[in-house]
Structure 1
Amino acid sequence: MAKITYIEHNGTRHEIDVPDGLSVMEGAIRNMVPGIDADCGGACACATCHVYVDEAWRAKAGERSSMEDSMLDFASEVQANSRLSCQIKVTPELDGLVVRMPEFQG
């Protein structure tokens, strides 16, 4: 289990224990964290779970796949550290991960 910190665009923090094997998106949805809509349910078919991975965690969170990169074309305010939270699988190595949500989801 990893403790993930979700930060809303207004600065509100949510620290959630997320079981290994779930996605960062699933952890947010199961705990009703505002700011991650997940319209496609985690199928990498939309951009409504867009997050910014804290710079200190970018390498551990991994690189975007080409499909994820294509979906981010539909997101607002994409940055170098943008990821779809449905594509980040929780592992013990991600204990302490910090993600921020954009003001608007794709």
Structure 2
Amino acid sequence: MAATFKSIKSVVPLFDRILVQRFKPDTKTASGLFLPTSATSGTLPEATVIAVGPGVPDRSGKLVTPSVSAGDRVLLPNWGGNSIKVGDEEYFFFKDSDILAKIKE
């Protein structure tokens, strides 16, 4: 079953879900040489946050907001996440607690 979305902006995460787009490995060197697919087949553990859910209530009912916001660069685990495709692009949902780190520039 494939979901159809007109735009990634129409996808709004719920609860403590984070929508990210993973960085793609470079397929070309700085000097213009193309790298073979065997050298670029892995995914990088870095991603850009596209959208963030509102958070989840704690035991007292107070809303706990996620620790990242749209536009942040984050470090992801190599496992997990639920993927969706919008056009040719692939995006992933992770829980806020699955995000390993925020990358400061």
Query: What's the TM-score bracket when you normalise by the shorter of the two chains?
Result: under 0.3
Normalising by structure 2, what TM-score? 0.27
Higher strand share: 2
Is the radius of gyration larger for structure 1 or structure 2? 2
Task: Kindly indicate whether structure 1 or structure 2 has the higher relative contact order, using CA contacts under 8 Å at least 6 residues apart.
Answer: 1
Higher helix share: 1
Normalising by structure 1, what TM-score? 0.27
